[in-house]
């Protein structure tokens, strides 16, 4: 009886606090009696420092979070007394912050957060609050934290009209029409969320950049956003269109070597800094997917990037020049960035950094690492990840991306021998980098839960955490995120963490296992269309360009006998990938055209393994539903049901992927689909493919 009563009370309490996800991982839920008593004993007073907007934020954030978690309003005191949280500016700490418990006979216990500036104190404060949200022990702290990358940046692909390219969580957060007169409380919430995970930069607009973004009118609007972000340590950057001198400035050309063009950019930089004194710099997509660039004038990426770099240099701005280039004529798109950029190594201005996607094609569910990592040793390089799930199921599907990020960060390039992982090739450890940075294409929009799928918040979160510390494991980050976002109950965390850990691999399995890539539906990229063949379209946008299915087998031959993309990697990786026997099976079809009857490591044929992988993916999606169904007791109804319904869609679409790909590939393999348990639920006709 008592149990039933308790259950009813518990459910009522949960329902009272129905959640829409808008508070992200900063919910500061009331802690258990025991834990909050302990925290109240350790901290009873805050000794704030007050010299900036940021230090005010720190005090406010800590006081209100502490009160939410423990029910106690802390005292403020100018004098350091016992049981006090103390802040210290210590210029000796070059980067990051420290948090230490100090025991002093006179003044008792205090927790000291020290850093060289207010922004790092803010990071330290969020760290302490994270520990408390996770019910951690704060009585004996000795934490020293330093960021792996200096610039930890979100890239928004947001357009002037409020749409977001590849955005699946509503419209843009930036309301350009109302700016600068009218701001939006969400600008502050956005900045706060980013600061809580150490993100310190944001590119506000799409890489497919409208020149208008650097017009005076828009700079005034952008300055307003920058003013709000500044106190949270977030710098604003903009994507620029290489044709701006002609399109915006009315010049007859945008040739980077033209004197007038050079003057135009210098004047533009001066104007930008007059509005935004701490402007971060430019992100540039040039000579890529139809965008203008220096090659239009017979010049090189170096000419283009250095032109902008020189304009920004007097003000400390940087240029993030993207290496995402490929040509319809190229026989292997995966090779082009390396071919174009390697000859330019060492020729870029010192405030240029080359922004390189994690893999050589385009944010696929799985790619090998980009061959430029470790190879361009005289130019700073930064990794670009995609947080928004363009190719991993939009905001319809649960795919926790930390395993993908970690896989890239920890992939060995062998550039300086074993252990030369991508992270070390880009964070200044192995090569001198005048700039260190990392970027993630944002998945935020104006949906109330920010990211469309509640679990997509974890991808924003894990990007920030890995940008700060690329040695964190994806499991550790999932644990933090789940505790803060949902619940500290082990019975909830353990199965859900397992689901998160397996989710990206599940997506790989039911979409593109064994190294397949780009089997996506035309343009929007949701769903399978391996048969797609539009005669007038770019061949390198057609799935058959990637899978190369024929009567013999499946996969893209990138070995020495094929496109020889393997030669762009350092030995022994080049040989490992080149040999079918040593090539990791999860990248097999990326590097090899493999006969349908080829025997893989488990003794089964390629065809059998392919079928198995697709089926594994479907089964994993079903398993996620079962895991989630059991969590109802632990969390609020609103988020429970939201995720539950999304998981239904995920399973339905996993089956669609499996059937579409296997039925299509079966027309080449001409072998039965050997699932033991079930048959495809679709037919090719139903999938709307009568001929291909």
Q: Which residues bind ligand BDP (CB under 6 A)?
A: 165-166, 207-208, 285, 289, 324, 362-363, 390
Query: Which CB sits closer to ligand BDP, 249 or 371?
Result: 371
Query: Which CB sits closer to ligand BDP, 386 or 433?
Result: 386
Active site residue 289: yes
| Smallest distance, ligand BDP to C-beta of residue 384, A | 8
Which residue is catalytic, options 61, 255, 303, 362? 362
Query: How far apart, in whole angstroms, are the C-alpha atoms of residue 204 and residue 221?
Result: 11
- Contact between 359 and 407 under an 8 Å Cβ cutoff? The reply is no
Residue tagged 């007073």 (tokens): 45
Following CA atoms 438, 443, 447, 450 in sequence, which dihedral angle do they give, to the nearest 10 degrees?
-40
Query: Which CB sits closer to ligand BDP, 208 or 473?
Result: 208
Query: How far apart, in whole angstroms, are the C-alpha atoms of residue 553 and residue 671?
Result: 12
Which residue is catalytic, options 289, 550, 641, 686? 289
Query: How far apart, in whole angstroms, are the C-alpha atoms of residue 501 and residue 482?
Result: 12
Active site residue 362: yes
**What is the chain's length?**
692
| Smallest distance, ligand BDP to C-beta of residue 298, A | 23
Query: Which CB sits closer to ligand BDP, 29 or 165?
Result: 165
Please state whether beta strands 381-386 and 352-357 pair in parallel, antiparallel, or not at all (unpaired): parallel
Query: How far apart, in whole angstroms, are the C-alpha atoms of residue 562 and residue 28?
Result: 56
Active site residue 340: no
- Answer whether the bond into residue 532 is a cis peptide, omega within 30°: no
Burial pattern 273-296, b for ≥16 Cβ within 10 A else e, equals bebbeebbbbbbbbbbeebbbbbb
| Smallest distance, ligand BDP to C-beta of residue 658, A | 24
| Smallest distance, ligand BDP to C-beta of residue 651, A | 26
Q: How far is CA 331 from CA 335, 336, 550, 567, in A?
A: 9, 9, 18, 15
Which residue is catalytic, options 19, 118, 145, 390? 390
β-sheet with 142-145: strand ranges across: 75-76, 45-47, 84-89, 108-115, 97-104, 142-145
| Smallest distance, ligand BDP to C-beta of residue 387, A | 12
Following CA atoms 127, 43, 69, 137 in sequence, which dihedral angle do they give, to the nearest 10 degrees?
60
Query: Which CB sits closer to ligand BDP, 289 or 641?
Result: 289
Handedness of CA 126, 130, 135, 141 (dihedral sign): negative
CB-nearest residue to ligand BDP? 362
- Contact between 594 and 609 under an 8 Å Cβ cutoff? The reply is no
| Smallest distance, ligand BDP to C-beta of residue 164, A | 10
| Smallest distance, ligand BDP to C-beta of residue 317, A | 21
- Contact between 474 and 402 under an 8 Å Cβ cutoff? The reply is yes
Query: Which CB sits closer to ligand BDP, 421 or 456?
Result: 456
Query: Which CB sits closer to ligand BDP, 159 or 449?
Result: 159
Query: How far apart, in whole angstroms, are the C-alpha atoms of residue 513 and residue 536?
Result: 29
| Smallest distance, ligand BDP to C-beta of residue 362, A | 5
Query: Which CB sits closer to ligand BDP, 158 or 362?
Result: 362
Q: Which residues are the active-site residues?
A: 289, 362, 390
């Amino acid at each position: 009886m008592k149990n039933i009563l308790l259950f009813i009370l518990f459910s009522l309490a949960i329902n009272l606090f129905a959640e829409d996800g808008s508070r992200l991982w900063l919910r500061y839920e009331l802690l258990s009696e025991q834990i909050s008593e302990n925290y109240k004993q350790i901290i009873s007073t805050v000794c704030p420092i007050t010299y900036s907007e940021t230090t005010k934020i720190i005090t406010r954030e800590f006081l209100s979070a502490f009160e939410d978690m423990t029910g106690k309003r802390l005292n403020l005191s100018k004098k350091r007394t016992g049981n006090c949280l103390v802040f210290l500016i210590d210029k000796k700490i070059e980067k990051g912050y420290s948090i230490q418990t100090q025991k002093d006979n006179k003044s008792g216990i205090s927790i000291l957060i020290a850093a060289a500036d207010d922004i790092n104190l803010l990071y330290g404060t969020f760290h302490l609050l994270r520990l408390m949200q996770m019910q951690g022990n704060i009585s004996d702290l000795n934490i020293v934290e330093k960021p792996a990358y200096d610039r930890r940046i979100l890239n928004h692909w947001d357009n002037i009209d409020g749409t977001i390219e590849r955005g699946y969580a509503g419209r843009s957060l930036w309301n350009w029409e109302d700016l600068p007169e009218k701001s939006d409380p969400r600008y502050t919430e956005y900045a706060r969320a980013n600061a809580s995970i150490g993100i310190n930069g944001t590119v506000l607009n799409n890489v497919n950049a409208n020149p208008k973004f650097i017009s005076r009118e828009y700079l005034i609007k952008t300055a307003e956003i920058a003013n709000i972000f500044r106190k949270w340590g977030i710098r604003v950057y903009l994507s620029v269109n290489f044709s701006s001198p002609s399109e915006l400035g009315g010049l007859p050309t945008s040739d980077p070597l033209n004197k007038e063009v050079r003057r135009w950019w210098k004047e533009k930089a001066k104007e930008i800094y007059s509005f935004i004194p701490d402007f971060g710099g430019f992100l540039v997509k040039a000579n890529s997917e139809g965008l203008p660039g220096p090659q239009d004038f017979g010049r090189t990426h170096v000419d283009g990037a250095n032109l902008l770099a020189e304009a920004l240099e007097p003000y400390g701005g940087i240029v993030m020049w993207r290496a995402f280039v490929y040509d319809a004529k190229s026989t292997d798109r995966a090779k082009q960035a390396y071919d174009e950029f390697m000859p330019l190594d060492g020729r870029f201005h010192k405030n240029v950094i080359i922004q390189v996607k994690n893999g050589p094609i385009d944010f696929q569910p799985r790619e090998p690492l980009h061959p430029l990592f470790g190879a361009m040793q005289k130019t700073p390089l930064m990794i670009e990840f995609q947080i928004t799930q363009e190719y991993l199921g939009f905001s319809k599907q649960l795919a926790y991306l930390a395993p993908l990020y970690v896989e890239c960060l920890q992939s060995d390039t062998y550039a300086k021998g074993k252990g030369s992982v991508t992270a070390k090739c880009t964070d200044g450890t192995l090569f001198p980098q005048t700039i260190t940075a990392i970027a993630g294409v944002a998945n935020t929009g104006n949906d109330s839960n920010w990211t469309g799928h509640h679990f997509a918040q974890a991808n924003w979160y894990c990007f920030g955490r890995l940008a700060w510390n690329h040695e964190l494991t994806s499991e550790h980050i999932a644990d933090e995120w789940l505790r803060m976002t949902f619940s500290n109950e082990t019975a909830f965390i353990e199965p859900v963490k397992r689901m998160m850990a397996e989710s990206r691999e599940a997506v790989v399995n039911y979409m593109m296992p064994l190294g397949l890539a780009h089997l996506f539906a035309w343009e929007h990229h949701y769903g399978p269309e391996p048969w797609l063949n539009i005669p007038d379209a770019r061949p390198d946008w057609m799935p058959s360009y990637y899978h190369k299915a024929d009567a013999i087998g499946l996969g893209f031959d990138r070995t020495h006998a094929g496109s020889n993309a393997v030669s762009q990697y350092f030995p022994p990786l080049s040989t490992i990938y080149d040999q079918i026997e040593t090539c990791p099976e999860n990248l097999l079809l990326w590097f090899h055209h493999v006969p349908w009857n080829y025997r893989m490591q488990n003794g089964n044929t390629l065809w059998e393994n392919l079928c198995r992988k697709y089926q594994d993916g479907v089964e994993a999606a079903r398993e996620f539903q079962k895991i989630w169904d059991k969590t109802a007791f632990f969390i609020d109804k609103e988020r429970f049901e939201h995720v539950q319904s999304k998981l239904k869609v995920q399973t339905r679409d996993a089956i669609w992927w499996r059937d579409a790909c296997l039925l299509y590939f079966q027309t080449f393999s001409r072998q039965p689909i050997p699932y033991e348990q079930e048959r495809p639920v679709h037919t090719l006709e139903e999938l709307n493919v009568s001929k291909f």
